């Protein structure tokens, strides 16, 4: 199964944009890129997903490199409620496995 690499932790200031990187150099053509986030003692929350093109929704934007070997989740204006562990996952069919994720801290 294709793996992803994310920084262990990142910090951001409130009201500023945050760019969370993810490397997935072994991605295959049928793998979807999914992002979830998890607050303590809660199940993961869906954030966004894409295949080849950049995607935008009310929560975030997903920028996918042209070769698809990396992607970036963009939170346009971080709030304190965005502090969480963010997981970048490659999904192939029903196969979706979590890596360690990036712990985002948002400073007021």
- Which one among 8, 43, 66, 67 touches another protein, defined by CB under 8 A? 43
Q: Could you tell me if residue 14 is left (phi over 0), alpha (psi between -120 and 50 degrees) or otherwise beta?
A: beta
Least distance CB 80 / another protein (angstroms): 21
Q: Which is nearer to another protein, 41 or 81 (CB)?
A: 41
Q: Does 8 bind another protein (CB under 8 A)?
A: no
Question: Strands 18-23 and 70-75: what pairing?
Answer: antiparallel
The number of beta carbons lying within 10 Å of the beta carbon of residue 107 is 11
The CA distance from 71 to 21, in Å, is 6
Q: Which is nearer to another protein, 1 or 15 (CB)?
A: 1
Q: Which is nearer to another protein, 67 or 94 (CB)?
A: 94
User: Could you give the C-alpha distances from 84 to 3, 30, 90, 100, in angstroms and in order?
Assistant: 21, 28, 19, 12
DSSP one-letter code for 31: P
Q: Does 97 bind another protein (CB under 8 A)?
A: yes
Binding mask 48-87 for another protein (x = CB under 8 A): -xxx-----------------------------------x
Q: Does 46 bind another protein (CB under 8 A)?
A: yes
- Which one among 36, 70, 73, 90 touches another protein, defined by CB under 8 A? 36
């Amino acid at each position: 199964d294709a793996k992803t690499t994310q920084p262990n932790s990142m910090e951001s200031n409130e009201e500023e944009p945050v760019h969370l990187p993810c490397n997935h150099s072994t991605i295959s053509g049928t793998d979807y890129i999914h992002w979830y986030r998890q607050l303590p003692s809660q199940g993961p929350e869906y954030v966004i997903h894409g295949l080849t093109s950049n995607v935008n929704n009310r929560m975030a934007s997903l920028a996918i490199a042209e070769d698809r070997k990396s992607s970036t989740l963009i939170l346009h204006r971080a709030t304190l409620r965005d502090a969480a562990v963010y997981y970048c996952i490659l999904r192939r069919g029903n196969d979706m496995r979590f890596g360690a994720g990036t712990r985002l801290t948002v400073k007021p």
